[in-house]
Amino acid sequence: MRIIDVTRPVFTGMPVWPGDPPCHCGWSSRLPGDGVNVAELSFGAHTGTHMDAPLHVLEDGTRIADVSLAACIGPVHVVDTGDAGELDADWLAAHLPSGCERLLLRTRVWLDATRFPETWPAFTPGAARLLADRGVRLVGTDAPSPDPADADDLPVHRILLGAGIPILENLLLGDVPGGAYELIALPLRLAEADASPVRAVLVER
């Protein structure tokens, strides 16, 4: 068994979605004078590798604490997007493995961990509907979003989250070969939030 950490490191000043709260990792107490080290963290719920819950785009949507944990653990397929830019229903039909329960896209758009990508391969609404129709339980990407960068209304988010499909974003998949794995990606039990950072790992057996 091999465990592959696909979580982006969280650090002060790391790139976040434009307009989101900045990330700061500091200290409220330090050794030796304070007797203990106590880290102090400040960042938005969508920082780094994180999971979106339906509440992110739906007024009465499920909060992140109530997302089904069964969707967050289980068989997953990593699919490389290659040179594709727009991932439409035809592309998805040709690349979605049979019986796929969870799908992660390897786009490799984070060429520099200190610079937010300007564009990335993204699903069309038709592809999102196909994912829901095929019974996919979770969708993830190593890009900042399954929607295009300029999608103000986030139609792919609305379709997936409206179907109860949580979304993982900003995974670290650059060195992960495409194929079948086991996924563990658990959000924090934040009772009032629309999203949460996760520690995501793939298990290769």
Q: How large a percentage of the chain has pLDDT more than 70?
A: 100
Q: How large a percentage of the chain has pLDDT more than 90?
A: 98
pLDDT of residue 85: 87
- The mean pLDDT value for 176-189 works out to 98
Q: Which CATH class is domain 2-204?
A: alpha beta
Q: What per-residue string of b and e applies to 141-156 under the rule 16 or more CB within 10 Å gives b?
A: bbbbbbbbbeeeebbb
| pLDDT-derived band at 168, boundaries 50, 70, 90 | very high
Euclidean distance between CA atoms 97 and 93, whole angstroms: 9
Euclidean distance between CA atoms 186 and 14, whole angstroms: 22
Supply the mean pLDDT for the chain.
Answer: 97
- The mean pLDDT value for 159-179 works out to 97
| pLDDT-derived band at 205, boundaries 50, 70, 90 | confident
Euclidean distance between CA atoms 157 and 167, whole angstroms: 8
Euclidean distance between CA atoms 105 and 140, whole angstroms: 6
Structure tokens at 46: 């969508």
> Is the predicted pLDDT of residue 12 greater than 90, yes or no?
yes
Q: What per-residue string of b and e applies to 83-108 under the rule 16 or more CB within 10 Å gives b?
A: eeeebebebbeebbeeebbbbbbbbb
The model's pTM is 0.96
157 is catalytic: no
Euclidean distance between CA atoms 117 and 204, whole angstroms: 29
pLDDT digits (tens, 9 = 90+) for 65-119: 999 999 999 999 999 999 998 999 999 999 999 999 999 999 999 989 999 999 9
Structure tokens at 203: 């298990």
Euclidean distance between CA atoms 85 and 72, whole angstroms: 27
- The mean pLDDT value for 120-148 works out to 98
- The mean pLDDT value for 162-174 works out to 97
Q: Which of 56, 77, 95, 157 is catalytic?
A: 56
